[in-house]
Amino acid sequence: MKYFLATLLLVNSAFASDSFLKSVKKIKWKDMDVVWIEDDKFPKFTASIYFQDGALGEAVPGTTQLAFDQLTSGTSKENQRQLAEFFDFYGANLRRSVTHEYSVFSVQALTKDIKPVIGKVCEIFNDAQYPKEELSSHISRMKSQLRNLVTSHGALADRVFRKISLANTAYANPVEGNLESFDKITSESLKTRLQALNKTRKVLYLAGPSEVKNIREVIEENCHWKNEIQSVPQKLSKPSEQSAIYLVEVPNANQAQIRIGRYLTESEFEGKHDKFQFMASFLGGGFTSKLIQELRVKRGLTYSAGAYASMQRDYGRAGISTFSKNETAAETIALIREILGDVAGGKFQEKEFTHQINHEMGGYAFGFEQMNAFLGQLMLYDHQGRKYDELINYPDVISKMTRSELSSSAMEVFKWSKETIVVVGDKALEKSLSKIRPVRVIKYEDYL
């Protein structure tokens, strides 16, 4: 117990993040807002383009992601193979990330190749044709992969959980779309979507050696991006009470995937980002978190358990994710309920609370190590309308966190009657789960 006494003294965060953040420059290139970080560790660059538009801006689910995925399927000058050859030859790594509220297109390559690579990126954004044959082939593969999702029980649980926990909101559909929506997506609808994205507000997050800034000319002359459209906040009504457990039947499973959680409205998390994330980390943010200690270490019920509270600008989600063998799935859910109740009721030890504060403060500097993760953090803050100062002040906020703030955060976010519960597993689980809540058995095929 020597260790616990020692940790009662809070650690000091010696890392001066303010000087680090001073290296982040906000500049303007014509219509384009640019966030620039000089990084000369390696002769490579990262250019991430933030679009203030995501899946919420699409008429048919999956259109936005497909518009990004198929950018290299052909232009009026080059076919899919030629474009692939070009980007692969330079070792250019193209990535996209589409959320409901915003999208990001990222390019990583060697610094010396930045002009041709970014020039080609501009070309595909201006001239992507989405040829019918390539699109049809791609959609056929997407549908085939989706039908095979049952091979990954965890991914299936995540998908069904989103659709049920966000039912009747604009956020219910996964950004990748679904079997029905794929049939409605055409070359024309993708071009229309891309035109809208080209006009939407954008910010370029750029990191690399100083010569990387020389691409200003390429972007200004070739990309023709506009900042004409700004997204409008979406208001969500508060989630309703939940009365059932949804059991997603999969054949021959000897383990049950468990998802518990709900969506958060902007009014619920406004000004509470850090508190909610601290609470989620306390519950399920590492090997020493409450859930892992109770479920795995003390009882051997699972291999893994995690909790999260993630927020965009207008909506957020909070949840718990774990799994257990069929025989103990109900026991695991009951125990999670008990743990949530204990934390909300202040029934946790002082040493657990102090441990979590030390963990957050001591780990603060790691958020600055990897450039891509750091850029992503800045991007999220900008999207949420938060100032970078909040990032600097994070250790201060955490050091002042109180036990009652932790409890009230758990009470607000994880109110049991509002939590959606989804279990993916064998139908035989129905009997044991029904002791917790009435069970609705559903077919996974209805959620693809």
Partner 1 sequence: MKFLLPLIAFSLLTTSCSSLKKEKTLADSINLDVTEMKLNNGMTALIVPNSKLPIFSLYLFYKVGGKNEVPGITGASHFLEHMMFKGAKKYGKSTIDFIIEGSGGSTNAYTTADQTVYYENLPSKELETILDIEADRMENLLLDAEDFEKERSVVLEERKMRYENSPKGQLYQLLMSSLFAGTPYGRPVIGEIPDIKSVTREQMLAYFKRFYAPNNVTLVLVGDVNTRRAKDIIEEKFGNIPPSKTVEADHASLKDEDFAPKLQEDKVVHQKGESPNPIFMMAYPTYKAGHIKGYALDVLSSILGSGKSSSLINDYILIKRPIATSLYAAHQQLDKSGFFFVGGELVKGIKLEEFREGIKAKLKTYCETEITPKNVQKIKNNYLVDLYSGLDTNAGLAQFLGDRQTVMGDWRSYKKELNLYEKVTVDDVKEVCLETFAKPSVFTSVWNQNK
Q: Are 189 and 32 in contact (CB under 8 A)?
A: no
Query: Per CB under 8 A, which of residues 245..284 are in contact with partner 1?
Result: 250-255
Q: Binding of partner 1 at residue 14 (CB under 8 A)? A: yes
How far is CA 199 from its chain centroid?
Answer: 24
Query: Per CB under 8 A, which of residues 378..437 are in contact with partner 1?
Result: none
DSSP state of 241: P
Q: What's the half-sphere exposure (Cβ side, CA atoms, 13 Å) at 400? A: 5
Q: Give the nearest distance from C-beta 361 to partner 1 in angstroms.
A: 6
Q: Are 145 and 151 in contact (CB under 8 A)?
A: no
Q: Binding of partner 1 at residue 349 (CB under 8 A)? A: no
Q: Binding of partner 1 at residue 297 (CB under 8 A)? A: yes
| Pairwise CA distance, residues 147 & 448, whole Å | 7
Of 144 and 404, nearer to partner 1 (C-beta) is 144
Other beta carbons within 10 angstroms of residue 284's beta carbon come to 22
Q: Give the nearest distance from C-beta 303 to partner 1 in angstroms.
A: 4
Q: Which of 123, 294, 314, 360 binds partner 1 (CB under 8 A)?
A: 360
| Pairwise CA distance, residues 127 & 101, whole Å | 25
Q: Give the nearest distance from C-beta 133 to partner 1 in angstroms.
A: 6
Which residues make Cβ contacts (< 8 Å) with residue 329, sequence separation at least 6?
256, 258, 423, 425, 429, 432, 433
Helices (H), 185-294: 187-199, 216-218, 266-269, 273-284, 290-291
How far is CA 304 from its chain centroid?
Answer: 19
Q: Which of 30, 211, 217, 286 binds partner 1 (CB under 8 A)?
A: 286
Of 140 and 402, nearer to partner 1 (C-beta) is 140
Q: Which of 131, 306, 346, 362 binds partner 1 (CB under 8 A)?
A: 362
Of 98 and 146, nearer to partner 1 (C-beta) is 146
Q: Binding of partner 1 at residue 178 (CB under 8 A)? A: no
Of 174 and 395, nearer to partner 1 (C-beta) is 395
Query: Per CB under 8 A, which of residues 52..91 are in contact with partner 1?
Result: 72, 80-81, 84-85, 87-91
Of 141 and 224, nearer to partner 1 (C-beta) is 141
Q: Which of 3, 5, 76, 385 binds partner 1 (CB under 8 A)?
A: 3
Of 233 and 366, nearer to partner 1 (C-beta) is 366
Helix (H, G, I), strand (E, B) or coil at 129: coil
Edge to edge, the sheet with strand 103-110 lists: 24-29, 32-38, 202-208, 44-51, 103-110, 93-98
Per-residue binding letters, 126-145, with partner 1 (x by CB under 8 A): -------xx-xx--xx--xx
Q: Which of 161, 205, 246, 323 binds partner 1 (CB under 8 A)?
A: 323
Per-residue binding letters, 23-42, with partner 1 (x by CB under 8 A): x-------------xxxxxx
Q: Which of 76, 151, 237, 267 binds partner 1 (CB under 8 A)?
A: 151
Of 369 and 446, nearer to partner 1 (C-beta) is 369
| Cα 369-374-377 angle, rounded to 5 deg | 145
| Pairwise CA distance, residues 83 & 121, whole Å | 10
Edge to edge, the sheet with strand 439-443 lists: 305-311, 315-325, 255-265, 420-425, 245-249, 439-443
Q: Which of 301, 302, 319, 297 is nearest to 310 (CA)?
A: 319
Q: Judged by CB under 8 A, which stretch of 103-111, 169-177, 239-247, 260-268 contacts partner 1?
A: 103-111
Q: Binding of partner 1 at residue 344 (CB under 8 A)? A: no
